[in-house]
């Protein structure tokens, strides 16, 4: 792939530029069982090569950071998990400030979700729990209702995710706050995402742009890509294959 012109400014100053990406639907094709999601072959090597060349490279995902460590880790690549609730610093997993005290509440809600049997699948993350209805869409309304009542009971936050609802500590962490911290001080930043949760990262890019930073919003097309993501993107590429080609186009 020839490098899209939008990225020329970023590619021309790698020592002051950051390359950030989502994981599911962006590096890894979407699959029904979230634990079977794998990045396309060559993705980790590509991110590692980018980290050799660019000031900062990172993956910002809704996944537990442990999953990212096992599936996409490469030297020099920053990993942010659970929408910024945790990240890897010097090889160690660290929780965002204030998150740790919610761990037991989250575990308790996950157990109650298992007992209630309302979701198709209860996914225990490190500091949040996801209630999936992907393969059983008739459960959607009941899952949302149950999550809302648990949020009211516990103080956790209920957030709509991809064919799922997440219950998470009410810390106002999202991909935008994560990207805002991760990419602070850079002269050029791009982010690749495919879903609603990535709009917050686009918001962070908008804020960077107001401050004079060169930004590129990259949408990754899938049948489920929200219209808003496509309309706000500077470039849209086709699926994880297109995303990987675009990342590779940033290398010499
Ligand atoms: Mg995604």
User: Which CATH class name applies to 5-96+173-249?
Assistant: alpha beta
CA of 22 to the centre of ligand 1 (A): 6
Give the chain's length.
252
Give residue 35's pLDDT: 84
Q: How many angstroms separate the alpha carbon of residue 193 from the centre of ligand 1?
A: 6
168-187 pLDDT, tens digit each:
999 999 999 999 999 999 99
Q: What is the pLDDT of residue 91?
A: 85
C-alpha of residue 164 to centroid of ligand 1, in Å: 13
Burial of 121 (C-beta count, 10 Å sphere; 0-12/13-18/19+): middle
CA distance 86 to 177: 12
Give the architecture (CATH level 2) of 100-168. 2-Layer Sandwich (3.30)
Q: From the CA of 56, how far away is ligand 1's center (Å)?
A: 20
Q: Which residues have CB less than 5 Å away from ligand 1 (the ion)? A: 22, 24-25, 194-195
* Residue with token string 């706050």: 177
DSSP H or E run through 56: strand 56-60
| Segment 63-108, tens digit of pLDDT | 999 999 999 999 999 999 999 999 998 889 999 999 999 999 999 9
> What predicted TM-score, i.e. pTM, was given to this entire model?
0.93
Which of 5, 4, 23 shows the shortest CA–CA distance to 192?
23
Instruction: Quote the ligand 1 centre to 60 CA distance (angstroms).
Output: 9
Residue in the block written with tokens 């911290």: 181
> Which residues of the chain carry a pLDDT beneath 70?
none
d(CA 123, CA 121): 6
d(CA 148, CA 112): 14
Give me the residue spans of the domains in the chain. Answer: 5-96+173-249, 100-168
Distance (Å) from CA 226 to ligand 1 centroid: 11
- The rounded Å distance from CA 25 to ligand 1 centre is 4
């Amino acid at each position: 792939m020839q490098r899209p012109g939008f990225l020329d400014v970023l590619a021309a100053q790698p020592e002051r530029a950051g390359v950030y990406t989502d994981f599911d639907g962006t590096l890894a094709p979407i699959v029904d069982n979230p634990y079977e999601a794998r990045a396309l072959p060559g993705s980790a090597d590509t991110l590692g090569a980018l980290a050799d060349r660019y000031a900062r490279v990172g993956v910002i995902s809704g996944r537990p950071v442990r999953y990212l460590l096992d599936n996409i880790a490469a030297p020099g690549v920053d990993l942010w998990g659970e929408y910024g609730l945790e990240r890897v610093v010097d090889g160690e997993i660290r929780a965002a400030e204030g998150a740790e005290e919610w761990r037991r509440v989250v575990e308790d809600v996950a157990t109650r979700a298992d007992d209630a049997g309302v979701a198709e699948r209860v996914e225990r993350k490190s500091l949040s729990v996801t209630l999936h209805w992907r393969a059983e869409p008739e459960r959607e309304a009941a899952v949302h209702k149950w999550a809302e009542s648990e949020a009211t009971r516990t103080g956790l936050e209920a957030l709509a995710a991809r064919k799922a609802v997440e219950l998470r500590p009410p810390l106002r962490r999202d991909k935008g706050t994560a990207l805002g911290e991760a990419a602070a001080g850079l002269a050029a930043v791009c982010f690749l995402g495919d879903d609603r949760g990535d709009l917050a990262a686009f918001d962070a890019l908008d804020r960077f742009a107001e401050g004079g930073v060169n930004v590129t919003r990259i949408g990754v097309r899938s049948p489920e890509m929200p219209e808003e993501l496509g309309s706000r993107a500077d470039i849209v590429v086709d699926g994880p294959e297109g995303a990987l080609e675009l990342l590779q186009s940033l290398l010499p």
